Amino acid sequence: MMKTKLTLLFIALVGAVGLVSAQATEECITTMSIFSEHAKVKNYDAAYEPFMKLRKECPTTSYALYQYGERILHYKIENSTGAEQKAFLDDLKKLNEEKKTHFASKAKEGDDISDVALTMYENKIGTAEEQYEMFNKAWKADSKTFKNPKGLYVFFNLAVALQEAGKIELQEVFDLYDGIQEQITTIQNEYAKNLEVILEKNEAGTALSSKEKQIEKYAESNLSNYSKVSSGVNGMLGKLADCDRLIPFYEADYEAKKNDVAWVRGAAGRLISKECTDSELFVTLVEQLNTLEPSAKTSYYLGRLAEQRGEDAKALEYYEESAERQTEPAEKAKVYYRLAENFRGKASYSRARTYYQKAVQAQPSMGIVYLRIADMYAKSANNCGDSVFNKRAIYWLAADMAVRAGRIDPSLSDTANKTAAAYRALAPDRTMIFNAGNAGQRVSFGCWVGGSVTVPSL
């Protein structure tokens, strides 16, 4: 009976963070209950002694031991100095190893090691090189679980500082930049997919469940956080990777590395990402890459060259070829976006939208797509609808698209909100809605735009 009561107490205390092992002894459950009760109210000093006892005698009682244990050791590190602080940091590393031993399925090496690295940085433990090496260890061990936004930002910030101090090579910074941005894009795409479903329900006027509201809030918060990290990382790279620095950097190594496919591919990609495509070096790199390894990337680069030369038909041919051959979603999205921009520039809006939609299907976090579609809707207002009211109603649709851009990509939110406000100012006003007598009704569009929009209620 006593064991049952203690087990129930323990489950009540740790139910939110871990499960009780079926093999837990009565003594382990008693100690775990005391530990959890203190830890749950953040009385970490009181929780420390039972925490250390449990690690030694009852390491498999509950995963909550490790979740709360990390918080306890973080607290100890933050409130100590010198050798004592270093000892607590070493113990945090040890706890991660114990977690990996006893709860292997829950251990995330990239997350755990990067947490140690970030703890070192935040508490000024070790040199910048030592902090960087710990982040690098996490990245190499398991980059997929290295997702902490602040950790990613600090990691890259340290890399830039060390490169400027002559401690690491510029190429190492470039490689890290590519990896971090790819990681951020992957994470953003997942949140954007979740949010897109919610936005479609909002636009259709469908009420959200409480769970959907939580998904919406969580997705928007994380999209905002990762957007800030991406912008910050881009800003730091800007100091190192402008055309004036990149071109001589790659020119110096070209003869020695021109037959190294990976190097040529990377150099061409870096120049195109920084819009250094009007240089002779870019032409040389693309032609060499096409000789060494014809691929989706080379087709895209050849398209850019053809576009620069004014050979629009040839450029579109290369872009189409690249899109068909491309297997990486982010790269495929880039090609489709380029195709869409070409057609939008020629006022071929229906074809442009098709490619914009393909781009965002490949990369759901590409919010700029919705701003571009909104722009095309607005420019088509006079050609859609059979009345002045219906022509102007298209601005509501354009405004909805603009708002979506800012919610999918928070870095665009200011521009998106201002754009949406400008479109709404051009839509039918309250007087027009009253005179038309169609408040709350749907207005459909028969031109290339298609779809419909609900007239606001008065």
Strand pairing partners for 442? Answer: 454
Under a CB-based contact definition with an 8 Å cutoff, are residues 357 and 370 in contact? Answer: no
pLDDT by 10s per residue, the chain, length 458 = 444 444 444 444 444 444 445 456 889 999 999 999 999 999 999 999 999 999 999 999 999 999 999 999 999 999 999 999 999 999 999 999 999 999 999 999 999 999 999 999 999 999 999 999 999 999 999 999 999 999 999 999 999 999 999 999 999 999 999 999 999 999 999 999 999 999 888 877 788 999 999 999 999 999 999 999 999 999 999 878 889 989 999 999 999 999 999 999 999 999 988 889 989 999 999 999 999 999 998 999 999 999 989 998 999 999 999 998 998 999 999 999 999 999 999 999 999 999 999 999 999 999 999 999 999 999 999 988 789 999 999 999 999 999 999 999 999 999 999 999 999 999 999 999 999 899 989 999 989 999 889 999 87
pTM summary value? 0.81
Strand pairing partners for 452? Answer: 444
Rounded CA separation 268/118 (Å) = 34
The helix (H) or strand (E) run that includes residue 437 is none
Determine the Cα angle at 364 with ends 358 and 365, to 5°. 130
The helix (H) or strand (E) run that includes residue 346 is none
3-class secondary-structure state, position 147:
coil
Rounded CA separation 369/87 (Å) = 51
Rounded CA separation 89/343 (Å) = 57
Q: Which amino acid is at 217?
A: K
